[in-house]
Amino acid sequence: QVQLVESGGGLVQPGGSLRLSCAASGTIFSLDVMGWYRQAPGKQRELVATISSGGSTNYADSLKGRFTITRGNAKNTVLLQMNSLKPEDTAVYYCYAIRITTTPTEKNEYDFWGQGTQVTVSS
C-alpha cells in the first residue's frame, strides 16, 4: 500500500510564504500524478494543483501565480510553494496521488490520500 505523509504546514501571517511537502512510502512503483487538495472550514474540498510524472502542471485558476507545484528530488515526492498567502488560504491541505495501470483491454486508476496538514494564515 501507498502512504502519503504531508509536512510543512503551520501558522503564517498574510503575505507570507510556506512550503508543503509530501512523501510517499510503501510503494515500489512510480506515481503518475501527484498533487494537493484543500478544505477550508465550512467549504467543500477543492483541487489546488497537480503535477504529472512528465512535469505537466495544472492549477486552480484562483491560485495560479501564487502557488507552485514541483516534484521533489526523491522519487514520489511533491512540493507546494505557497507565496503571498491570504487568510482565505487557511485550510487543511491534503496530498494525493494517482497510479495508472494499463492492459491491452483496460486502464485502471488507483487513488491515494494523505492525512492532511493545517495551514493557517492569520495576523
Q: What is the pLDDT of residues 65-119, one digit of tens each?
A: 999 999 998 889 999 999 999 999 999 999 999 999 999 999 999 999 999 999 9
pLDDT at residue number 114: 97
Q: What is the pLDDT of residues 5-53, one digit of tens each?
A: 999 999 999 999 999 999 998 877 889 999 999 999 999 999 999 999 9
pLDDT at residue number 1: 78
* Cβ partners under 8 Å of residue 71, min gap 6: 34, 51, 55, 77, 78, 79
pLDDT at residue number 30: 84
Rounded-to-integer distance, Cα 34 and Cα 31, Å = 7
pLDDT at residue number 64: 82
The one-letter amino acid at 27: T
Rounded-to-integer distance, Cα 86 and Cα 8, Å = 17
